[in-house]
Chain A
Amino acid sequence: MGAQPPEIALDIRDLRKNFGGIRAVDGCSLAFPRGQISGLIGPNGSGKTTTFNLLTGVIAPDSGAIYYNGDNLAGLKPYQVFRKGITRTFQITRIYREMTVFENMLSASRLSVPERQGRARAEELMAFVNLTHLRDEYGGNLSYGQQKLLEFARALMPDPDVILLDEPAAGINRTLLADLLTHIHRLQGMGKTIVIIEHDMNVIMNHCAKIFVMDYGLKIAEGPAQEIQRNEQVITAYFGHR
């Protein structure tokens, strides 16, 4: 058991993952604060999405630990991580195109949860993201923005403590993005821990309490927005040497 400070929701220690000769995540340590919105940024290929995949069990780490409520999640299967209370969305939205919006929602309801309770939760979340009017529409018929909202709402089905959002702003219009950010802040208000990977720096700098920057599989900086904006190492990672 790792000595995980109570103010830290997810404590990643010396996480490593190689793909052949490529070190996708190279001894990365991150501590995401509980009940806050954190940003995870970095140039393309810096290991952000791989970190999310390692956190959610989609791929197993070569070494390292991921502490959550005192348990090490490293090596757990995705459904086990989900059942611990950590859910995610994907960079390219992944919904069930041949299922209705309602069925998509129910797919993330655990079998142990009574059916009536699962349905009520699905209805509540569809209302939360304004998708109730599309309840019986097939996922494949929704616009991209609506699919994003559906995926986001689906990730909330088990009432998770930690929500990992992979590029939530990508491909959606400003109005929808504003709605999505409102929802994210409401969740944070409920005490949820939210980690966002995002290339839209307005989203990261204006909405994240703490920002973690990765490059070449390593954390190169962490801190509040103002600090990160002035960090020489971060500027070099994004723009090269001046």
Chain B
Amino acid sequence: MEQAEIRRVYLLGAFIVAAFATPFAVGAWSGNIFYDRQWLMDLITVCLNGLLQGGVYAMYGVGLTLIFGVMRIINVAHGEIVMLGAYLTWVLFNAPEYLGLGWHLDPLLTMVITLPIAFALGFAIQKVLLNAVVGGPELTPLLITFGVGIAMINLVEWIFTTDYHTIPYQPDAFHITETIFVGKNKIISFAMALAISLGVFLFLKLHRLGKAIRATAQNPEVAMVCGIDVQRIYLVTFGLGAALASAGGALVSIQFGFNPETGVQYTVVAFAIIVLGGRGHYLGAMLGAVLLAVLENLVSFMVPNGSAMVEMAAYTMIVGVLLIRPQGLLGVKET
């Protein structure tokens, strides 16, 4: 690694440390920090919640980074696919009740149906709208996915209105100690996110189709002459990215309220994650997701009216990382 590059890595490290120190500084300045045992326990709880939320964030991030890494497409509709995943989960969760059966489908079990649907949707978007423009100017797919996102929002608003929905799922808390506790739904979501993310990681690392996806990401021209049907890989990749986003939507639906417009927030988070972790870097996206979620929870906990400042944390991350080391924490400089 050349000297300038090493300097940029240190500078990025310093920026991230400063980003994490800022909520503490603001909290101390505004009197939100209490130097007692209870506050310390609350802080640990907040960090744990951030870590668990990072799992859900990872689901948004890895899908987006996969799509970007393979096709260099900036999928602005990614958050809307997350939102769609949440709605699909909600519909299937309530379907037995609407049919008069008097019970609800487990939202995690719905993934057996929602993930293939999302895969098919991603596959279709790529096939019909994007395959023809991959490799061209970056603005074209960006505008196409922007249009797709808007269409999704309008369609979902038309069907479900703008009301917020949520799925009550394992709402009680799991006590680690008497004073440190986290929601059971968060633990389950994290475990699920970890399992899916690692599953996809191992698929990319070990399976031949996964290796073909990685080969295409590294050099599509070489992949082509090595017998890989690159257009087909693009279809599978967008499908996989959409399925991951949809899984993120399912995990969102059991923890947070959602409506058709929350997709924009998920897109911002996903972008912050992949910029922080390194565009196109799968493990980087997982790391970025955890860092961002913990930071957001710290801001929310310590900064006065902090929940309103959470998005600012994400935007600050994007701008800061792009200025210091555009390839992010684990990304490789593009030549």
Chain A interface residues toward B at CB < 8 A: 56-58, 77-79, 81-83, 87-88, 90, 94-99, 103, 106-111, 115, 118, 154, 157-158
Which of A78, A88, A94, A97 has the most C-beta atoms of chain B within 10 angstroms of its own C-beta? A78
Are A107 and B226 closer than 8 Å at their CB atoms?
Answer: yes
Are B218 and A79 closer than 8 Å at their CB atoms?
Answer: no
Which of B214, B219, B222, B225 has the most C-beta atoms of chain A within 10 angstroms of its own C-beta? B225
22 examples of A-B residue contacts, CB within 8 angstroms: A56-B225, A57-B225, A58-B221, A77-B229, A78-B225, A79-B224, A79-B227, A79-B229, A82-B227, A87-B226, A94-B219, A96-B215, A99-B214, A99-B215, A99-B218, A107-B215, A107-B223, A107-B226, A108-B226, A109-B208, A111-B209, A111-B212
Are B225 and A103 closer than 8 Å at their CB atoms?
Answer: no
Are B332 and A98 closer than 8 Å at their CB atoms?
Answer: yes
Q: Quick check: is B230 within 8 A (CB to CB) of the other chain? A: yes
Are B208 and A106 closer than 8 Å at their CB atoms?
Answer: yes
Specify which chain B residues have a CB less than 8 angstroms from the CB of A106 in the assembled complex: 208, 211
Which of A77, A82, A97 meets B226, CB within 8 Å?
A: A82
Are A115 and B226 closer than 8 Å at their CB atoms?
Answer: no
Main SS class of interface, B? helix
Chain B interface residues toward A at CB < 8 A: 208-209, 211-212, 214-215, 218-219, 221-231, 332
Which of A90, A98, A99, A158 meets B227, CB within 8 Å?
A: A158
Which residue of chain B has its CB nearest to the CB of A94? Answer: B222
Are B229 and A107 closer than 8 Å at their CB atoms?
Answer: no
Cα–Cα distance between A83 and B227 once the two chains are bound (Å): 6
Are B227 and A108 closer than 8 Å at their CB atoms?
Answer: yes
Cα–Cα distance between A106 and B208 once the two chains are bound (Å): 8
Specify which chain B residues have a CB less than 8 angstroms from the CB of A58 in the assembled complex: 221, 224-225
Which residue of chain A has its CB nearest to the CB of B332? Answer: A98
Specify which chain A residues have a CB less than 8 angstroms from the CB of B223 in the assembled complex: 107
Given contacts A96-B218, A98-B218, contact A107 B225 (CB under 8 A): no
Which residue of chain A has its CB nearest to the CB of B229? Answer: A79
Specify which chain B residues have a CB less than 8 angstroms from the CB of A111 in the assembled complex: 208-209, 212
Are A96 and B229 closer than 8 Å at their CB atoms?
Answer: no
Specify which chain B residues have a CB less than 8 angstroms from the CB of A83 in the assembled complex: 227
Given contacts A94-B219, A96-B218, A96-B219, contact A78 B224 (CB under 8 A): yes
Which residue of chain A has its CB nearest to the CB of B207? Answer: A115
Specify which chain A residues have a CB less than 8 angstroms from the CB of B225 in the assembled complex: 56-58, 78, 81-82, 87-88
Specify which chain B residues have a CB less than 8 angstroms from the CB of A88 in the assembled complex: 225
Specify which chain B residues have a CB less than 8 angstroms from the CB of A90 in the assembled complex: 222
Are B224 and A107 closer than 8 Å at their CB atoms?
Answer: no
Q: How far is the CB of A74 from chain B (nearest CB, A)?
A: 16
Which residue of chain A has its CB nearest to the CB of B230? Answer: A79
Q: How far is the CB of A109 from chain B (nearest CB, A)?
A: 7
Which of B212, B218, B231 has the most C-beta atoms of chain A within 10 angstroms of its own C-beta? B218
Specify which chain B residues have a CB less than 8 angstroms from the CB of A107 in the assembled complex: 211-212, 215, 223, 226, 228
Cα–Cα distance between A88 and B228 once the two chains are bound (Å): 14
Which residue of chain B has its CB nearest to the CB of A90? Answer: B222
Cα–Cα distance between A78 and B220 once the two chains are bound (Å): 11
